[in-house]
Amino acid sequence: MPLVPFGALKRNALGFLCVKTAPGSVWLNTSPVRSTGAMVVFSPGGKRTTPDGTGCTYSSNAIRSGIRGQSKEDAMIKLYGVPMSRAMRAMWMLEELGLPYERVKVDFADGGTRKPDYLKINPNGHIPALQDGDVTLFESMAINLYLARKYDQGLWPKTVADEGRAFQWSVWAMTELEEPVITALLHRVFLPAAQRDAKKADDAAERFKTPLAVLNGALAGRTYLTGSVFTVADLNVASVVSIAPMCGIDLAPAPNVQAWFQRCSARPALARAQAHP
Ligand SMILES: N[C@@H](CCC(=O)N[C@@H](CS)C(=O)NCC(=O)O)C(=O)O
């Protein structure tokens, strides 16, 4: 299906290439589909269309399995994992960037993470893992930093100092914030009832208060972690904070975190990622 020429193009404040597909229409964000050269256009409603005059609308699923004749096998990016896991972080990032990708179902619940073929991709036996052409990566935060940097759509910080802050907050989220909230999740939600230990969960919830207070202080007087713009730092940290409400940890004692988390959670890209089956 041949593409017809774009309408007017411009870059918005976040660096997105925007297009007007008809005179008098609103500006729409776009994202390139690298392997096909097609451009995906984000309509204000969050659905995607191509500016070829066909009026076609592509869902996340269609994009994932390939649009405009691109087969699944050709998909440049493969994300291994299931939504109910740390793979959701990378799904959120991929949706923010509007990248076509294939999600390959690898589930810890059925032993998929320990299968020999998957261990060749991530020898740790964990999800997520990402393949982007010749590049194979594990570690969710590293995957997101890589994607935000490589396919920059405004989520990569604009200064070296803010890049440092993005690294800082991503490493901090893994080393200071994640363990207590994952422990609480395991012992309150995930483990079979007989294996749950209420004391371990309560201790973990108590320990979570320390990094939560650090984050609350950092967000005082700020909209986002590096200033006024949502970046990969916010996505990575918010993806860990999002576990707290799932296991009964109240964010109310940290009002700056609560307000920031609401802003992050309202991102349409997160809703699109969560809508994946
Ligand atoms: N630090 C790693 C942790 C990955 C991880 O532990 N993933 C869990 C699912 S959320 C997993 O694959 N568990 C399977 C297992 O341990 O067998 C990351 O952030 O990617």
Residue 244's pLDDT band (boundaries 50, 70, 90)?
A: very high
Name the residue with the closest Cα to ligand 1, atom 11: 126
Query: Tell me, what's the pLDDT at 75?
Result: 56
Q: CA triplet 132, 135, 136: central angle to 5 degrees?
A: 90
- Over residues 75-109, the pLDDT tens digits come to 589 999 999 999 999 999 999 999 999 999 999 99
Rounded Cα gap, residues 237 and 222, in angstroms: 15
d(C-alpha 40, C-alpha 37), whole Å: 10
Residue ranges per structural domain of the chain: 8-59, 76-154, 160-273
47 falls in which pLDDT band (50, 70, 90)?
A: very low
Q: Which CATH class is domain 76-154?
A: alpha beta
Ligand 1 nearest atom to the CA of residue 114, by list position: 17
Separation of CA 175 and ligand 1 centre (Å): 14
Please state the separation of Cα 78 from the chain's center in Å: 14
Mean pLDDT of 21-33: 47
pTM of the model: 0.77
**Ligand 1 centre distance from Cα of residue 138 (Å):** 10
Give mean pLDDT, residues 121-130: 98
Which protein residues touch ligand 1 with a CB less than 6 Å away? 85-86, 108, 113, 125-128, 139-140
CATH no., domain 160-273: 1.20.1050.10
Query: Would you state the structure tokens that stand for residue 28, as one six-digit string?
Result: 């729409």
The pLDDT of residue 30 is: 52
CA dihedral 67, 71, 74, 78 (to 10 degrees): 70
Residue 276 pLDDT level (bands cut at 50, 70, 90): confident
Q: How far is the CA of 185 from the centre of ligand 1 (A)?
A: 14
Rounded to an integer, what distance in angstroms lies between the CA atom of residue 222 and that of residue 229?
Answer: 10
